[in-house]
């Protein structure tokens, strides 16, 4: 058990990569509060987890992730249930609208940044406040994307927002290192989730073929990266964006 007794929060935990990460964290002894965008998907995810192990310490909530006060209340409430601790905060929720630039409105662009960047910033800020107060640091992990390095065929909002996640992570690692707070990101390659199922398959198939390992990434592969980075096995690792992409640098 890599995370025995650790207290964690995970945004975008109701499905896909986030759900796999919540499950991996619970299996490894953590207490987890996760967030989703709809109450019914949060409830469904909770039911799935409780069916695996009813004793797992897990709760789910729907919160506006870019609302500082709401996030502060949610993270603090979970910490207060666990002796005031927050050990690991994972900011994973994201959207990928894939809209061509001629159709992409300024409001849509801002909305992508609200979910993919502002919400990550707010989560990092709230987590920092709690982790500084507990005095012995913590770990903040964010979900970036391979598209930050390679772009995407359409939807310039998404790769650029993930580039911001990468540099936000890097900057905060420098700023928060002296407080004992590690800050890292995981950059998934094309991962078999609902988000990818909703993209045009003519994009996806060639990427699978081009990846050196000739496969898509599974949500559990990303969860394992979050497990490593959140654990003491990574105690000297900060500021990195770990690419988990079947070697997809050739995408």
Residues catalogued as catalytic: 158
* Collapsed DSSP state (helix, strand, coil) of residue 240: coil
CA distances, 30 to each of 1, 56, 78, 123, 230 (Å):
9, 9, 13, 19, 10
Choose the binding region for ligand NAD from 46-54, 123-131, 141-149, 170-178 (rule: CB under 6 A). Answer: 141-149
Q: What is the dihedral of CA 124, 245, 115, 231, to 10 degrees?
A: -30
Q: Which is nearer to ligand NAD, 3 or 152 (CB)?
A: 152
Touching ligand NAD, residues 13-72 (CB under 6 A): 13-18, 36-37, 65
Closest CA to 165 of 186, 179, 191: 186
What's the half-sphere exposure (Cβ side, CA atoms, 13 Å) at 162? 26
Shortest Cβ 54–ligand NAD spacing (Å): 22
Shortest Cβ 100–ligand NAD spacing (Å): 19
Shortest Cβ 18–ligand NAD spacing (Å): 5
Report whether 151 contacts 99 (CB < 8 A).
no
* Collapsed DSSP state (helix, strand, coil) of residue 143: strand
Q: Which is nearer to ligand NAD, 13 or 155 (CB)?
A: 13
Report whether 124 contacts 172 (CB < 8 A).
yes
Closest CA to 26 of 52, 63, 44: 52
Q: Which is nearer to ligand NAD, 52 or 197 (CB)?
A: 197
Shortest Cβ 28–ligand NAD spacing (Å): 19
* Collapsed DSSP state (helix, strand, coil) of residue 29: coil
Q: Which is nearer to ligand NAD, 191 or 231 (CB)?
A: 191
143 binds ligand NAD (CB under 6 A): yes
Touching ligand NAD, residues 186-245 (CB under 6 A): 188, 190-191, 193-196
122 binds ligand NAD (CB under 6 A): no
Choose the binding region for ligand NAD from 47-55, 71-79, 124-132, 185-193 (rule: CB under 6 A). Answer: 185-193
Q: Which is nearer to ligand NAD, 99 or 134 (CB)?
A: 99
Question: Cα(22)–Cα(125) distance, rounded to whole angstroms?
Answer: 21
Among positions 21, 61, 92, 112, the unique one binding ligand NAD when judged by CB under 6 A? 92
Question: Cα(76)–Cα(126) distance, rounded to whole angstroms?
Answer: 9
Shortest Cβ 106–ligand NAD spacing (Å): 18
**Where on the chain is the footprint of ligand NAD (CB under 6 A)?**
12-18, 36-37, 65, 92-96, 115, 143, 145-146, 188, 190-191, 193-196
């Amino acid at each position: 058990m890599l995370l025995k007794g650790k207290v964690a929060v995970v945004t975008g935990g109701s499905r896909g990569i986030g759900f796999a990460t919540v499950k991996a964290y619970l299996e490894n002894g953590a207490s987890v509060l996760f967030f989703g965008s709809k109450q019914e998907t949060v409830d469904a995810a909770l039911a799935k987890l409780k069916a695996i192990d009813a004793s797992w310490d897990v709760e789910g909530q729907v919160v506006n992730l870019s609302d500082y006060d709401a996030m502060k209340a949610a993270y603090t409430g979970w910490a207060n249930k666990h002796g005031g601790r927050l050990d690991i905060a994972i900011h994973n929720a994201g959207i990928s609208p894939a809209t061509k630039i001629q159709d992409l409105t300024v409001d849509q662009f801002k909305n992508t940044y609200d979910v993919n960047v502002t919400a990550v910033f707010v989560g990092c800020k709230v987590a920092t406040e709690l982790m500084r107060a507990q005095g012995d640091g913590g770990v903040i992990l964010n979900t970036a994307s391979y598209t930050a390095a390679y772009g995407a065929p359409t939807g310039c909002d998404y790769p650029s927002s993930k580039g911001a996640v990468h540099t936000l992570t890097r900057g905060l690692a420098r700023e928060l290192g002296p407080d004992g707070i590690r800050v890292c990101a995981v950059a998934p390659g094309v991962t078999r989730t609902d988000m990818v199922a909703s993209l045009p398959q003519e994009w996806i198939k060639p990427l699978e073929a081009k990846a050196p390992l000739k496969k898509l990434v599974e949500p559990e592969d990303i969860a394992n990266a979050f497990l490593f980075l959140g654990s003491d096995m990574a105690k000297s690792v900060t500021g990195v964006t770990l690419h988990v992409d079947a070697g997809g640098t050739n995408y």
